[in-house]
Amino acid sequence: MFDRELKKGSAELLLLSLLDAQPRHGYELATLIEQRSRGALVFHVDSLYPLLYRLEERGWIAGRWVEQAGERRRRFYRVTAEGRRALAHRRSAWTGFVEAVRLVLGDAHA
Amino acid sequence: MRDWREDVRPHLAGLRLDPTREAEIVEELAQHLADRHAAHLAVGATAEEADRLTRGEIADGGALSARLQPLRQARMAAPLPVARGSRWAPGALWLDLRHAGRSLRRDWPFTAAVVVALALCIGATTAVAVAVQALLFRPLGFDGSARVVNVWLSRPIRPNWHFRVPPADVRTIDAANHVFDGIGVYDTQPMNLTGDGPPEELATAVVSAGALQLFRVDAALGRVFTVDDEAPGHTHVVLLSDGLWRRRFGARADAVGRDLMLDGVPHRIVGVLPRGFAYPGRTDAWIPHDRGDSHGNAFLLARLRPGVDVARADAEMAVLVAAITNGRPNPGMRFTVEPLQASLTRSSRASWLLLLAAVVCVLGIGCVDVSILMLARGLQRRRDVDVRLALGATRAHIVRLLAAEGLWLAVAGGAGALLVAWGGIRGLRALAPLDTPRLDELAATPTMVWIALATAALAACAFGLVPALRGSRGSVDATLKASGTPAAIGRATSRLHGALIVLQLALALLLLIGTALIGRSLARLTAVDLGFDADRLLTVRLNATGGGDAGAARRMDAALRAVEEMRRLPGVVGSTTATGPLLTGWGLPDATRTLAQRLTIEGAAVGDRPEEANMRRVEASYFQTLGIPVRNGRGFTAADGVQAPLVAVVNRAMARALWATDAPIGRRFAFEHDGPAMRWLEVVGVVEDTRDIAPTEAPAPTFFVPLLQHTRWMEGTPLHLYVRTSSDPVLLADAVRSVVWRLDPAQPVEVSTMAVAVDQFHRAPRFRTVVLGALAMLGLLLSVLGTHAVVAHAVGQRRAEIAVRLALGAGRGEIVRLVVGRALWLAGWGGVVGLVAAVIAARLARGLLFDVGPMDAASLVAAAGVLLLVVVATAYPIARRAGGLDAARALRPEAV
């Protein structure tokens, strides 16, 4: 099981990278994360949306209401240019971190 | 499908969301819940189960609200009321004020910091400014105070000393000048008031009738002096000050015509001068100048003719000197014209101007604080302002709102400043040395209220409106779109912050260095070696003079007998008498009587530069009683009497200056005022140098002669008794007084201790040190506020960088070093600027330093050390907090 802090820390990275592929709405993001993590990561409304709004305030993602025929309108989020830069930055930091941890653990086993 | 909006709405209740935005959030979250509900149903949950699970998406207990709280959109002010057509109506203004007040309350740490900074720096500035205005610059309390001038006489013997002007010269100046409306003479002398009530010493001015006319002053009761009062042999008369009249006579009109016992002589009271009139010095009573007194040299006062300025009067006096010195050997004598106001305040001016300069530094530091805080808030407010503009608020609205905030800050800061100023003025009055000229005129005034409020309003408007106008000018679109660029604005702010903090720390260092220099001066001053032992020493000044040579001889005889009798008092270790006071500064008239005597040195080539030395006539046990070590030869003994060979003891300064040796025993010299026939004195001993006039005055060449061998010119010379005691000398004051009075009942005595005499020289430096120290502490405190704001802001800006560093394995120490290092870098620049400024400023304030150079290394290092320590202590906790995140948390840069 993931440490709670670790999960929180990586949440922004998760959201940004999911949105990087294509614009999505909040429900879709929550479902995707839950499915892809096989239920290990669950985002409830009360944690997902504050995170999205914060990323939006920071200018890394932008939300927009989209109406589709026969459906109620939904708010879709996409990554901005700034967000993409932040994502790249985060990704490399994360990779570096994971690599570092792996090295340490690997050394310990060796 | 069920509508979940009503389930979402209560969770947003505590937030300050814009209504439109709130509706959007409600819609978006409700939609999510509906989708989730449907999904639960789709996998076979019962309706109740689905409901329960869906509601679980938003935990009870306000988690959602708490997480949204930090977002800007959740802290939106309520939409601006639109007051079309009545933009400046009182109602709309009131709304703005309420609105601004709410916004300031919400951001209370900011508000508190600004108000405290404004109150402290403006309050301190107001207090010192009011004091400086009252003590140095407010016109004196009589008509045309700027026109009344002192005409000082100086001679090359002592260029900085003001000599009394002989009556003949006064007459010449009166007759020949074209610049004065009138002249008068005065002198000051303490007189003992006895009779009804406790005896007290009055500050008495001896004035000519002309002098009182210069002030255009008329008696509030009775009359002022006439020329008749100055005639020799006329009845003794006196004029009272308003204060003395109230104190001694309860402001009764029948005081006029009564007698006042001054120095044991009845003086008829002829009038009372108006309240607030106390010139030419601080004066309790005035007695007329006796024109018949051949030694009646006195200081010269004059009133400038309309249209004549000080420079022109100075030039005229330079011409008149020729007429005055015509035929008399007075080369180099010089008259200088100085406005009375400047003369009165000269002694304290440098001190007060120093404090004024210091308080301006504090004001600067406070202003920097307010700028830093306003800038940081402006950064937060920028988007807020732009959103408002986008929502349809006009520029005027925004400016009005920010001006309203400025107004609140100004009112709160101004009110605080008034309190601080009021307390500051009381503090200054209580701390200031009692002999500070015009101290009794210092009080809180209505002007002070205006100064404080106006300064606060100016500061708050300047710091509130400028960012507001800058903010409201920005393109709405650009800011909204570039919502990711606060980083850029932040960087610009950081640079500005850096410059401001450098300025602030420089000012703080300037204050610290000033305090260190002044404090070290005080320490040096209190540690100065006087050359004699000032502990447990009672001083008795025998005030009586006059009575011709017979009177002088009688008094000297009485004094010598008193010295003998005092030695027999229990608790007395030794006693002696001498002419010339010790440690009375240049204030007492007889201090000058020990002044430079021209000497003739046996064996010196004629035409050599005439040598000068001070002279003191002393009783045989003088050196022993005062604890002045005899370095060579011997001191005086009872054998050095009238019939014995003439002898002298010289101090080391004189021995070195005249004979370039420490032991000129057997050498001979004569002094000018000894009489028409030259009498050689033989040097029999050399004593240690003493600081006779003041602790700050370097020992001057001085010689001592036995009192009995030199009785010439004794008539106008008061004698001083010195009594060494084995315990607290004050306990023996009464016994000593009664010994004097038993031998000479008419002798007014002034009993004090040497400790008091020494202390009077410490009072002004101590006052300067205490007030300057307090201002430096205040400056330091305000700098801590500014430094904290800047470091915290910088850490906020660099949080992303710090996060990555932490993620990449940087230790806590590294982050602490990074943050503290940056603060120290700024402090270093501030230190350099402050040092340069301090070196320049210390040169200007050199006159206030004693035995400490303006570049005193210890002071500079200590001040810089304190500043660095304070900066580190301020930055370190912030740095630790920044470095205290664990790696995972740090990946969310703004999550702290």
User: Which one-letter DSSP state was computed for residue B136?
Assistant: I
- Say if A100 is an interface residue toward chain B (CB within 8 Å): yes
| Rounded Cα–Cα distance for residues B619 and B22 (Å) | 99
Nearest CA to B531 out of B405, B380, B694 is that of B694
Q: Which chain B residues have a beta carbon less than 8 Å from that of A90?
A: 891
Query: Looking at the partner chain, which of B29, B485, B808 has a beta carbon nearest the beta carbon of A49?
Result: B29
Chain-chain contact of B803 with A93 (C-beta, under 8 angstroms):
yes
- Say if A27 is an interface residue toward chain B (CB within 8 Å): yes
- Say if B886 is an interface residue toward chain A (CB within 8 Å): yes
Answer with the residue of higher pLDDT: B630 or B395. B630
Q: Which chain B residues have a beta carbon less than 8 Å from that of A94?
A: 807, 891
- Say if A76 is an interface residue toward chain B (CB within 8 Å): no
Express as a percent the part of chain B with pLDDT over 70: 86
pLDDT of residue B889: 52
**Residue B545: strand, helix, or coil:** coil
- The secondary structure element, H or E, covering residue B569 is none
Residues B834, B498, B799: CA angle, nearest 5 degrees: 140
| Rounded Cα–Cα distance for residues B183 and B337 (Å) | 12
- Weakly modelled stretches of chain A, pLDDT under 70: 1-9, 107-110
Alpha helix segments (H runs only) across B527-590: 548-567
Q: What ipTM was assigned to the predicted interfaces of this complex? A: 0.89
State pLDDT tens for residues B8-44.
888 888 788 888 888 889 999 999 999 999 999 998 8
Chosen from A53, A64, A73 to mutate, greatest number of chain B CBs within 10 A: A53
Answer with the residue of higher pLDDT: B602 or A18. A18
CB neighbours of B538 closer than 8 A, spacing ≥ 6? B721, B722, B723, B724, B725, B729, B730, B732, B733, B736, B751, B752, B753, B754
* HSE-up of residue B742 (Cα within 13 Å, Cβ side): 11
- Say if B61 is an interface residue toward chain A (CB within 8 Å): no
Which residues in chain B (479-498) have CB-CB distances under 8 A to chain A? 482-485
| For range B632-658, the mean pLDDT | 91
Instruction: Please answer whether residues B706 and B620 qualify as being in contact, where contact means their C-beta atoms are separated by less than 8 angstroms.
Output: yes
Chain-chain contact of A47 with B70 (C-beta, under 8 angstroms):
no
Largest Cα span, chain B: 137
| Rounded Cα–Cα distance for residues B434 and B91 (Å) | 54
Instruction: Please answer whether residues B706 and B642 qualify as being in contact, where contact means their C-beta atoms are separated by less than 8 angstroms.
Output: no
Domain A4-109, what fold? Answer: Arc Repressor Mutant, subunit A (1.10.10)
State pLDDT tens for residues B438-494.
777 787 778 778 878 787 777 766 666 665 555 555 444 444 444 445 566 666 777
pLDDT range class, residue B893, cuts 50, 70, 90: very low
How many helices and strands in chain A, by DSSP H and E? Answer: 4, 3
Chain-chain contact of A94 with B807 (C-beta, under 8 angstroms):
yes
Q: Which chain B residues have a beta carbon less than 8 Å from that of A82?
A: 484
- Say if A4 is an interface residue toward chain B (CB within 8 Å): no
State pLDDT tens for residues B830-861.
999 999 998 888 888 888 888 888 888 899 99
Residue B821 has pLDDT above 70, yes or no: yes
**Residue B282: strand, helix, or coil:** coil
pLDDT of residue A1: 37
Nearest CA to B36 out of B18, B50, B22 is that of B50
Residue of A nearest to B72 (CA): A57
Neighbour-count burial for B537-563, b at 16+ CB within 10 Å, e otherwise: bbbbbbbbbeeeeeebeebbebbbebb
Amino acid code (one letter) for B260: L
State pLDDT tens for residues B616-644.
899 999 999 999 999 999 999 988 988 89
Global model pTM greater than 0.90: no
Residue A110 burial (10 A CB sphere; 0-12, 13-18, 19+): exposed
Mean pLDDT check: name the lowest of A16-25, B200-209, B214-223, B543-552: B543-552
Residue of A nearest to B70 (CA): A54
pLDDT of residue B895: 38
Chain-chain contact of A44 with B56 (C-beta, under 8 angstroms):
yes
Measured between its terminal Cα atoms, the distance across chain A in Å is 24
| Rounded Cα–Cα distance for residues B885 and B892 (Å) | 10
Q: Which chain A residues have a beta carbon less than 8 Å from that of B33?
A: 45
Q: Is the backbone peptide bond immediately before B765 cis, with ω within 30 degrees of 0?
A: no
Sequence ranges of the domains in chain A: 4-109
